[in-house]
Amino acid sequence: MSMVQRGSQRARTMITRARENKRPEDSVVSLVVKYLLFAMNFLCWLIGGVMVGTGIWAYIEKNKYYHVQIQHIYDVFFDLSIIFLVLGLTIWILGFAGCLGALRENICLLKFYYIIIFIILFLELTVCIMAFLFRSKTKEIVTGGLNKNLISRYDKEDPDVKDFIDFIQENIECCGVTEEGYLDWNTNKYYNCTEKNRSALKCMVPHSCCINQFTISEGTTNLFCSGQVLDLSNSAAKKQIHTIGCIDKMLILGKENLPFMGGIVLAVIFPQLLAVYLARKLESQIRDQMGL
């Protein structure tokens, strides 16, 4: 064996021994990055598990009394049990991948983790940008879809939709969905003001539209507090109910509270950006340590 070959073999042996005898303090993997990523995802993993459990429990309990068949996307959007289940499962899977990937320094899991989060972040930003650039069209699509699939389904057969609409109308003081506002309730089979309607709620709107729901006694909701407002003009109806549509009211509130809305956007985006940064940083450190 030549001197060059012997020297090369000796160098490889020394490198191998150095790697085997490497002390923990010589590691290029930052413990701060590693355990910060682990802690973030362990928390997400727990939250995701709780959400999955809550979603399953809520779905089972709901279907004991009501069975709402899923026919289109709006049935999913306004079924809180399904939303909790889907979001919880997504958070649980990502939390598990990030948690185990950081703890075991697994490059494949880390790569899966930050790629999925990056895709989610990209989709969120794309939707926001497209909604901003095509505001009129977006508003038209959203209001049309909600009016068709929410107002007409406000009844005892779908309590989730009913509770959701009441919550929105009460808390942001609106009524209906579109620019027509309270008149949207003419499309509901119980409230419409047509001759064919034999319901006791004819020509009314839900109690959640009323300025004062407690017209009988404090703490007792009067389901008939709106009177016959669908037969009244907008100016006359304003004395009893909130007449503006909920989409328009949300847009007004958004413009009036831009700093708050910006804070919400940052609160959603920043953790995702931090997670991607930490995962990529840890992956890079692991590769450096492995000599890849």
DSSP state of 210: B
Q: Considering the domain boundaries, does residue 277 fall inside one? A: yes
Contact 274/261 with Cβ under 8 angstroms? no
Contact 172/249 with Cβ under 8 angstroms? yes
The answer to whether residues 207 and 108 belong to one domain is no
Q: Considering the domain boundaries, does residue 195 fall inside one? A: yes
The answer to whether residues 99 and 198 belong to one domain is no
Q: Considering the domain boundaries, does residue 4 fall inside one? A: no
- CA separation for the pair 219, 227 (Å, rounded): 19
Q: Considering the domain boundaries, does residue 13 fall inside one? A: no
143 closest CA partner among 103, 179, 93: 179
Residue bearing tokens 């002390």: 23
- CA separation for the pair 8, 5 (Å, rounded): 5
For 124, the enclosing helix (H) or strand (E) is helix 107-133
150 closest CA partner among 119, 175, 113: 175
Contact 170/208 with Cβ under 8 angstroms? yes
Contact 126/76 with Cβ under 8 angstroms? no
The answer to whether residues 95 and 151 belong to one domain is no
Residue 209 CB partners (closer than 8 Å, separation 6+): 169, 174, 175, 176, 182, 226, 241, 242
| Number of domains, the chain | 2
The answer to whether residues 190 and 248 belong to one domain is yes
- CA separation for the pair 46, 52 (Å, rounded): 10
Q: Which domain holds residue 218?
A: 138-255
Q: Considering the domain boundaries, does residue 9 fall inside one? A: no
Contact 37/278 with Cβ under 8 angstroms? yes
Q: Considering the domain boundaries, does residue 265 fall inside one? A: yes
Contact 179/251 with Cβ under 8 angstroms? no
Q: Which pLDDT score, from 0 to 100, does residue 72 have?
A: 62
The answer to whether residues 169 and 247 belong to one domain is yes
Q: Considering the domain boundaries, does residue 3 fall inside one? A: no
Q: Which pLDDT score, from 0 to 100, does residue 138 have?
A: 81
- Domain of 245, CATH number, reads 1.10.1450.10
Contact 282/110 with Cβ under 8 angstroms? yes
Contact 58/81 with Cβ under 8 angstroms? yes
The answer to whether residues 249 and 144 belong to one domain is yes
Q: Which pLDDT score, from 0 to 100, does residue 292 have?
A: 57
- CA separation for the pair 51, 61 (Å, rounded): 15
The answer to whether residues 245 and 275 belong to one domain is no
Mind listing the pLDDT tens digit of every residue in the chain (292 residues)?
555 455 456 655 554 554 455 444 456 788 999 999 999 999 999 999 999 999 898 888 777 766 666 666 666 666 778 888 999 999 999 999 999 999 998 999 999 999 999 999 999 889 888 888 888 888 888 887 777 777 877 876 667 778 888 999 999 999 988 888 899 999 888 898 888 888 888 889 999 999 988 877 676 778 888 888 898 888 888 989 999 999 989 988 888 888 888 888 888 899 999 999 999 999 999 988 887 5
The answer to whether residues 156 and 51 belong to one domain is no
150 closest CA partner among 54, 245, 252: 245
The answer to whether residues 61 and 164 belong to one domain is no
The answer to whether residues 61 and 110 belong to one domain is yes
Q: Considering the domain boundaries, does residue 7 fall inside one? A: no
The answer to whether residues 32 and 102 belong to one domain is yes
The answer to whether residues 153 and 178 belong to one domain is yes
